Amino acid sequence: MEAIEYAKNVTESFALPDACTRIKELLEDDCSTADDIAEVVALDPSLSIKLLKLANSALYNFPSPINTIAKAVNVIGGRSLYNLVITETATTAFRHFENNAINLERFWQQSVYASLVAKELATQANIRDVERYFLLGLLHNFGELAVATQTPQKATLCEDYNEKLKPWQLQQSILGFTYADVTAEIVKLWGLPDELYRPIEHQNDVMWALDDQDTAILNASARIALSIVHPDKYSQTKILNPEIIKSFGLHAEEVVEASQYARMEAYNILVIMNPDLFLIH
């Protein structure tokens, strides 16, 4: 199977909810208002609850409680809220395709660590729209679930990476492409913005990352996440490309801070996104 075939099977069995499409349309309509967007979100009670939880979480760290969708839209902004809707959709998709061919706890942790590191690196680099970087990190390895669902034996083989053979190198050897390729095709088929598709597609391309800030941040975030979940296999100093870090204007100390931030906040986000897997009863 090719990467596009895995992606097509995913998008055929899990379509984006109407809210995603409608909010995107409203954002592209100059005549629409924050209240228009809030009305769309409010039609989905489950989504509304999750959005309020996320908006009130440490991820956004607002000084006062956000208790209505309308307030969330006004405070966060329509574009950020759209990113939150996609985040919730991605979370639902993750659970939809969960299976035992891979280590699910590791998959979720790796995804959330990458998302938190990406957000923090973007914040330190004074980049606007940091929620988009959270989403980039969260989605970056979604293709793993697609492969695990459709060809579980291959996904299991792809988990056998080590210090010398990086995950994306092993994926290329076994599949003929990487999980990043599958993820990028899924994002593209869902009709999500190019600003999400391109960094995911090129996250393992060093030359591309050196020339594109979004890809550079995702490249670094994915590798930091990998070092957090596999400290026995990968150290940050060895797995990170220092030139990529320099390319978006940060230093080693700031990378360490982003890693520490992710370690502190990950559990809270994991509990919100997958309470069945991470909540301690």
List the CATH number of the domain containing 228. Answer: 1.10.3210.10
pLDDT of residue 148: 97
Q: What is the pLDDT of residues 258-274, one digit of tens each?
A: 999 999 999 988 988 88
Q: How many percent of the chain have pLDDT more than 70?
A: 99
**With 60 as the cut, is the pLDDT of residue 108 above it?**
yes
Is residue 233 in a domain?
yes
Higher pLDDT, residue 266 or 83: 266
Average pLDDT over residues 159-169: 94
Is residue 172 in a domain?
yes
Is residue 181 in a domain?
yes
Three-state secondary structure readout of the chain: CCHHHHHHHHHHHCCCCHHHHHHHHHHCCCCCCHHHHHHHHHCCHHHHHHHHHHHCCCCCCCCCCCCCHHHHHHHHCHHHHHHHHHHHHHHHHHHHCCCCCCCHHHHHHHHHHHHHHHHHHHHHCCCCCHHHHHHHHHHCCCHHHHHHHHCHHHHHHHCCCCCCCCHHHHHHHHHCCCHHHHHHHHHHHCCCCHHHHHHHHCCCCHHHHHHCHHHHHHHHHHHHHHHHHCCCCCCHHHHCCHHHHHHCCCCHHHHHHHHHHHHHHHHHHHHHHCHHHHCCC
Is residue 236 in a domain?
yes
Range of the domain at 272: 3-14+90-278
What's the pTM value of the predicted model, to 2 decimals?
0.87
Is residue 73 in a domain?
no
- When the pLDDT of each residue in the chain is averaged and rounded to a whole number, the result is 90
Is residue 36 in a domain?
no
pLDDT of residue 249: 86
The total of structural domains in the chain comes to 1
Top-confidence range, 14-28, 38-52, 85-99, 164-178:
164-178
